[in-house]
Structure 1
């Protein structure tokens, strides 16, 4: 389960990779470590069909039956809890990322292992496939996970975040539930590396 990532790209880099957007377009500070419960930059469709940049709290308020504990990673796409959001393209979002962490080692001696793209000279920026919802105190987001690829699986064999390339963004944000959910697959190993 991914519970730490970074987003250190500038607004200009976000525009270059994902296209133009509305919202707070002043330069973003670097988000060196984003943990659950913190605010993070997110892109979603606005009312006119363009993109909008917002800051959202990482962690969906969970179902009452589960004690309303925040959900940060979405694995079971068939769950009734996610069905409505997945069905509505307006509830999908992308979470810009420059690298993400999985932990290794025993409790008390855990170490961070960071993953990112191989072609970081072009841009280290990519996106997680996310869902968002309005809520008291502001909007919330969580992102999808899927089976781990080989490179992430060496550290965390259970799952990895669903990573999107720029060409996948419109499919995730705009297509049918079936086509969008088809993107929930392991990212290509050849396009990833450990980055620290």
Structure 2
């Protein structure tokens, strides 16, 4: 990457048509810097990009990556999904005529917060030999944040179980204003220390899904192009967590889960350009996510290939 002086930064600010503000990971770019540099030189060209520090953004340091082509920007983010954009529009203090009261911290403005699951227990048994069912009669239907849903998780001795957990992992304490924790449904920044303790194989899970919704003037539903093909969100989970999820219930002890997100593919991006869930459709992906070291499993934080999803008339 081409590092330039401050005057050159001002020139590049005016000259390059595309700019990405990228948050510096809390532990720094570390070993990411070399592969990022190699990718940019190989795929964009030495003279077709520039990188500058841009000071503070949303309470964290950020860098500005300048490019000539918006397609290169999309491909760069897809190549390095662990990076987080400095998007101040999703922060509670953001104001515009379109959002005169700003954003609520409890709103997840970036992601799917509704999905459908209609697969029966027998279908799970056919996909995962020897899986233990701890869900009873698995009720099909739509699933919203803070409600229970089936997940496939480790049960020890190399075995898997189909269990029930509540959608929404523990929130970072820094974002909570009261003792109530509504939970975090979607996880994007795997470099965050808050998520690091739950990224090992023991805490990874699969979340069965048959269709999911993205909001754009109403829920728009997506499902596999190959109708009936199995799909799973890439999930993480924690068991026996004490928190106040709803004030009326007081403190409860719950098994919790959330799933990963990534840049959208073509189908989802046309409706919701910020993000989509990380979805697995192949047994090799399920096995890697559940058992591989983090450095390998993290490479699966990527969108489904274009054409693998279709827009539906409603949930299936």
- TM beyond 0.5: yes
Tell me, yes or no, if the aligned pair for 1:116 and 1:124 is still in contact at 8 Å.
no
- Which protein shows a greater Rg? 2
- Listed one character per residue, the Cα deviations across residues 111-154 of structure 1 (whole Å, up to 9, x for unaligned) are 1111111111xx24310001001113221000000000010001
- Listed one character per residue, the Cα deviations across residues 133-184 of structure 1 (whole Å, up to 9, x for unaligned) are 1113221000000000010001110000000123211100100101111000
- What's the RMSD between the two structures over aligned residues? 1.4
Unaligned stretches of 5+ residues in structure 1: 106-110
Name 1:112's counterpart in structure 2.
219
Name 1:183's counterpart in structure 2.
300
Other structure's SS at 1:81 match = helix
Name 1:54's counterpart in structure 2.
163
TM-score (ref. length: structure 2): 0.57
The whole-number CA distance in structure 1 between the counterparts of 2:143 and 2:290 is 23
- Listed one character per residue, the Cα deviations across residues 58-111 of structure 1 (whole Å, up to 9, x for unaligned) are 00121211104511000001111111211x210000100000000112xxxxx1
Other structure's SS at 2:288 match = helix
TM-score (ref. length: structure 1): 0.91
Tell me, yes or no, if the aligned pair for 2:135 and 2:150 is still in contact at 8 Å.
no
Unaligned stretches of 5+ residues in structure 2: 1-110, 243-252
Other structure's SS at 2:157 match = coil
Aligned length: 187
The whole-number CA distance in structure 2 between the counterparts of 1:84 and 1:43 is 19
Tell me, yes or no, if the aligned pair for 1:4 and 1:101 is still in contact at 8 Å.
yes
